[in-house]
Amino acid sequence: MDSSVPLFDFAAVWSSRTLLLEGFGIAMFCATAAIILAMIIGLLIALMRLSNSRFLRGFAFVYTQLFRGVPLYVLVIWVYFGLAIVADINLPKIPAGIITLALLNSGYLSETFRSGILAVNIGQSEAAAAIGLTKRQIKRYIVLPQAFRIVLAPSGNQFVDAIKDTAILSIIGVPELMRMAQQQADLFYRPFEFYTTAGILYFIAVMGVTKLFSFIEKKMNRIGFTNGSQKVANVGEYI
């Protein structure tokens, strides 16, 4: 290597900071939007899997298996190019990326939510039924709030995964952090510096999310229950 070229040079990174931060912002936006969508869909799928209807249970099972089973790489191609070919739906890049991540994560979260709901002691639902609450009220006021506490930590982990997974969205051209880093690295021939910087930004985001979730968890512990999850009981018959 030419001795006049310094071994590490982050000057190029600094000069591209606006682009990198924009990419970082887009990555965080995609991950956050996707995880919120995934939580909503995941909850619905979990409730379907626990419902009385065979049809809904079957649908939810297939849904979960499908989106947990397909690699993200393939899924994003399906959503972006596949939908355009098959259904003539041309999604812009960022929405396509968000939907892809939401589908994938909803598959995982539905399983997390399902086990969280089942982990709420069956005696809770029985006591709620005994005072005359309807099935819907039991879910809303008794089971889901307690299940929420149980799934908080695993949901945080899922969020962390989603942040790192945004990097894959670069393959359809979403201008997120990894794509920006890649472009700038190629431009300046400084791959090590740019990718390391990207890595550090992901790391900071992950730390932030982890902190946020443990903060929420602490807060919930303070307002009451530390052991929302008791032993896993058989599903009550009255359900």
Instruction: Compute the least distance from the CB of residue 235 to another protein, in Å.
Output: 12
Secondary element (H or E) of residue 53: none
CA-based max dimension of the chain: 81
Report how many residues bind another protein under the rule CB under 8 A: 30
Alpha carbons 155 and 167: distance in angstroms, whole number? 20
Give the Cα separation of 42 and 36 in Å (integer): 10
Q: Using the rule CB under 8 A, is 127 a contact of another protein?
A: yes
134 near another protein, judged by CB under 8 A: yes
Q: Is 124 a binder of another protein (CB under 8 A)?
A: yes
Q: Using the rule CB under 8 A, is 87 a contact of another protein? A: no
Pick 6 or 224: Cβ nearer another protein: 224
Q: Which is nearer to another protein, 161 or 217 (CB)?
A: 217
Q: Could you tell me which of 168, 197, 159 has the C-alpha nearest to residue 20?
A: 197
Contact predicate 38/158, CB 8 Å? yes
Report the distance separating Cα 7 and Cα 81, nearest Å: 41
Q: Please, what is the minimum distance in Å from the beta carbon of residue 151 to another protein? A: 14
Question: In the window 212-231, what residues touch another protein (CB under 8 A)?
Answer: 223-228
Residue 139's nearest CA partner among 150, 124, 149 is: 124
Among 115, 121, 157, 183, binds another protein (CB under 8 A): 121
Q: What is the SS3 assignment for 218?
A: helix
Question: Going residue by residue from 49 to 78, which x/- string records binding to another protein, judged by CB under 8 A?
Answer: ---xx-------------------------
Angstrom distance (rounded) from CA 109 to CA 43? 8
Choose, by CB under 8 A, the member of 142, 171, 206, 216 that binds another protein: 142
List interacting residues with another protein (CB under 8 A). Answer: 52-53, 121, 123-124, 126-135, 137, 141-142, 145-146, 149, 223-228, 236-238
